[in-house]
Amino acid sequence: MRLPGLIDPHVHMREPGASHKEDWATGSAAALAGGFTQVLAMPNTHPAIVDEPSLGQAYQLAGKKARCDYGQYMGAGLDNVREVSTCAEKCVGLKLYLDQTYGPLRLDEMSDWLAHFKGWPKNRPLVVHAEGRTLAAAILMAAITDRSLHLAHVSTREEILLIRAAKKRGLKITCEVTPHHLFLTAGDLPGGRGEGRPRLQTQKDVNALWENLDVIDCFATDHAPHTWEEKKQTDSPPGFPGLETALPLFLTAVSEGRLRLDDLVPRLSSNTRRIFGVPVQPETWVEVDLDATASITAAMMFSKAGWTPFEGLQTRGVILKVVLRGISVFEDGQVLAPPGSGRLIRQDLV
Ligand code: DOR
Ligand code: ZN
């Protein structure tokens, strides 16, 4: 059966600065192999994407290597409110890191958050990494500034229930959940392999996410590749590769009756398109066999991460082919799109 080309609003492509973990050629190959034809890249690179020159550099790198369509977020810093807002139409959104994570972009002071909440145009996506009580504070700030806000990788029961209450109140809040927070719990993976931000949570949290599916606007992989060498260490960097495994995992949930296709497809395409203003790609689709089975293994993957937290998992639902603008870009396990064939989302504006 045919699904639309999928959109991932949350990936880390590691260029510039850490191309041993991933680069645009490998990361976008992983995207296509997973059915994602449009990806939105996070700004916590080295250097971080915080001004016009670094945005330009990111676009140059992606332009040469990306095989799928791509957009780039900018990162909120201590003194770049004006700079990022002048670039608002050239990027896909502004990301605020309000809690501890990988990279240099954390903002501690609420007055700094507020400056960005006020300065960033109201019609452009604003995304926060905010956990627990920080998430509550971010929702309050969206209410005070009367603006929309997208909450990245929601992972706990208390968060999803708070978001339900905020939505019920009419606040302009949207949110995403990752496959790893839906399919894994703390303790499933030994040592550094299980490190992620937000952390993997309890079964109670996982159950609450599934029970409150109607509150979840999109699924996002938070594809955060770190190499196997790095993840083997006990003090490993946080994050999981996820582009190639997301759709097979979700289709398996469909085959088990835990999820309906009607619940899945909008969260991987139309809802995401609407929230982030991502353009439609003509003649673009993903051909899947819902009954075929496979097992997840790092050996089949295109990401430089070289490992997966879902190793050995049996899945039902296989991606046969991906067509982008009428051209087959993934077929029989091979990525066919060359580096540089992907297009910049919002190219019209740059
Ligand atoms: O686990 C994570 N890894 N969470 C983040 O927020 C950042 C990401 C990364 O860039 O590795
Ligand atoms: Zn992330």
DSSP result, 15-61: TTT-TTT--HHHHHHHHHHTTEEEEEE-S-SSS---SHHHHHHHHHH
Q: Which of 8, 13, 44 to mutate to test the pocket of ligand 1 (most atoms within 8 A of CB)?
A: 44
33 Cα distance to chain centroid: 16
pLDDT at 100: 87
Number of other CB atoms surrounding residue 83 within 10 Å: 16
Residue length, the chain?
350
C-alpha 132 – ligand 1 centre gap (Å): 17
C-alpha 90 – ligand 1 centre gap (Å): 24
62: amino acid identity, one letter = A
**What whole-number distance in Å separates Cα of residue 242 and Cα of residue 218?**
15
Q: Which of 19, 180, 189, 197 to mutate to test the pocket of ligand 1 (most atoms within 8 A of CB)?
A: 197
Nearest Cα to Cα of residue 311 among 303, 323, 299, 329 = 299
Q: Cis omega before residue 9 (within 30°)?
A: no
Q: What is the pTM of this model?
A: 0.98
Number of other CB atoms surrounding residue 259 within 10 Å: 18
pLDDT at 136: 98
Rg (CA), the chain: 19
Whether the CB-CB separation of 68 and 30 falls below 8 Å is answered with no
C-alpha 251 – ligand 2 centre gap (Å): 23
H helices of 197-317, where? Answer: 203-211, 228-231, 246-255, 261-268, 270-276
* Domains parsed from the chain with CATH numbers: 2-349 (3.20.20.140)
Does 197 contact ligand 1 (Cβ within 6 A)? yes
**What whole-number distance in Å separates Cα of residue 177 and Cα of residue 151?**
9
Does 102 contact ligand 1 (Cβ within 6 A)? yes
pLDDT at 106: 95
Specify the ligand 1 atom closest to the Cα of 152: 6
**What whole-number distance in Å separates Cα of residue 28 and Cα of residue 127?**
22
Whether the CB-CB separation of 95 and 87 falls below 8 Å is answered with no
Can you give the pLDDT of all 350 residues of the chain as single tens digits?
A: 999 999 999 999 999 999 999 999 999 999 999 999 999 999 999 999 999 999 999 999 999 999 999 999 999 999 999 999 999 999 999 999 999 888 889 999 999 999 999 999 999 999 999 999 999 999 999 999 999 999 999 999 999 999 999 999 999 999 999 999 999 999 999 989 999 999 999 999 999 999 999 999 999 999 999 999 999 998 999 999 999 999 999 999 999 999 999 999 999 999 999 999 999 999 999 999 999 999 999 998 999 999 999 999 999 999 999 999 999 999 999 999 999 999 999 755 54
Specify the ligand 1 atom closest to the Cα of 42: 10
pLDDT at 19: 98
**What whole-number distance in Å separates Cα of residue 308 and Cα of residue 287?**
23
In what order do the strands lie in the sheet containing 6-11? 6-11, 36-41, 69-75, 93-97, 126-129, 149-151, 173-177, 218-219
Specify the ligand 1 atom closest to the Cα of 237: 11
pLDDT at 350: 46
